[in-house]
Amino acid sequence: MTEQTTFHKDTWELYKSLEMSKQLTSGPTLAELADDHPEVVAMSSDLSKPTGLWPFAKAYPDRFFNFGLAEKNMVTAAAGLASTGKVPFVSTYASFLGVLAAENIRTAVAYPNLNVRLIGTHTGIAMGFYGTSHHATEDISITRAMANMTVISPADGVALSEMIKESVESYEGPIYFRVSRGREEPVYEKGERVQNRIGKANILRDGSDLTIIACGIEVLQALRAADQLSEKGIEARVIDMHTIKPMDEQAVLEAAQDTGAVLTVEEHNIMGGLGSAVSEVLMESGVPCKFKRHGFYDENSLIGKPYYLYKHYKLDADGIASVAQEFLNK
């Protein structure tokens, strides 16, 4: 057992005691993979702790690179490493990655179709008082429009961990992972039978009156909203559409056929995000159903505590339930 591996085990135990149920599991997951996958490296921009990469950085310092406040350079350097056979995991706030470094991602990573894994954290309005400049409500639409790019918005840390492992072991091409702050309650329990596989949606709740398709942290809120609707006699199917590109079109079409009404929920601008992707599938298929997108209605997000912002934008359970009921009543 190497000194690094021993340190990794100690770090991993500490991390489990503090954060195992949270979202930002990229660091410990990469540390788990590192011995068997020497091609894995990680990169950050002075944000290894808030983005969750610090367990990997501590366990494998010779495979971790800190670029300071130079996100664009970091992405381009990751492309260079990927061209030599490495699999770089690049993580920083989504506003600095999926938005600020978009041109570098498009030209240096997506265009040559390299195995770079981009992890944008603190997405949507999770940064609260840091302001609109630090909110990321456009990153899905930006990265989804890039050829060769896979776009994933996991519901929690278990889902993120499972798909990071798959991305290393059996997936080719660039991936943009979109995760929140890491303080959210989990949707999945580690080791349960539900598997989070890239490109395959998870049906978490069945229903015949309505389908709610959500991604990211809105999946848990959608489940809670479905429970509220059930008390009013409305049974909603809830789908975790973690992979936005390539989308599980079959799950969308079956939901439309079975329930006749589809509501998408995302912590993102409804222009170009999850809702737009689902609507494209429905329109091209010709399957008739009622349809509504719910998220940010093409506006700059306000500044405030995240809890109040989610409530204001009706992206909490109560808000989603009210939007769904109004949608069905129409």
CATH number (domain holding residue 92):
3.40.50.970
Q: Domain containing 263: what range?
A: 202-329
Mean pLDDT computed over 168-188? 92
Q: What is d(CA 140, CA 152) in angstroms, rounded to the nearest whole number?
A: 9
41: helix, coil or strand?
A: strand
For 328, counting Cβ atoms within 10 Å of its Cβ (0-12 exposed, 13-18 middle, 19+ buried), the class is: middle
Q: Which residue has the higher pLDDT, 19 or 179?
A: 179
191 part of a folded domain: no
Q: What is the pLDDT of residue 23?
A: 61
199: helix, coil or strand?
A: coil
183 part of a folded domain: no
Both 42 and 161 in one domain: the answer is yes
CATH number (domain holding residue 321):
3.40.50.920
285-311 burial by CB neighbour count: b if 16+ within 10 A, else e? eebebebbbbbbeeeebebeebeebbe
Among 178, 211, 229, give the residue marking a domain's end.
178
Q: What is the pLDDT of residue 26?
A: 86
Q: What is d(CA 311, CA 299) in angstroms, rounded to the nearest whole number?
A: 16
For the whole model, what pTM was predicted?
A: 0.91
Which residues, 6+ apart, have CB-to-CB distance to 89 below 8 Å? 26, 30, 40, 41, 42, 43, 53, 117, 119, 164
Both 23 and 138 in one domain: the answer is yes
> Tens digit of pLDDT for each residue in 75-89?
999 999 999 999 999
> Tens digit of pLDDT for each residue in 47-83?
888 888 999 999 999 999 999 989 999 999 999 999 9
Both 34 and 127 in one domain: the answer is yes
Tell me how many domains the chain contains: 2
187 part of a folded domain: no
> Tens digit of pLDDT for each residue in 122-175?
999 999 988 888 999 999 999 999 999 999 999 999 999 999 999 999 999 999
Confidence check: pLDDT of 287 > 70: yes
Both 296 and 212 in one domain: the answer is yes
Q: How confident is the model at residue 7 (pLDDT cuts 50, 70, 90)?
A: very low
Both 38 and 158 in one domain: the answer is yes
Confidence check: pLDDT of 5 > 70: no
Contact of 142 with 276, CB cutoff 8 Å: no
Q: What is d(CA 65, CA 52) in angstroms, rounded to the nearest whole number?
A: 14
DSSP 3-state helix, strand, coil percentages of the chain (rounded to 5)? 45, 20, 35
Q: What is the pLDDT of residue 22?
A: 53
70 part of a folded domain: yes
Both 219 and 144 in one domain: the answer is no
Which residues, 6+ apart, have CB-to-CB distance to 287 below 8 Å? 253, 256, 257
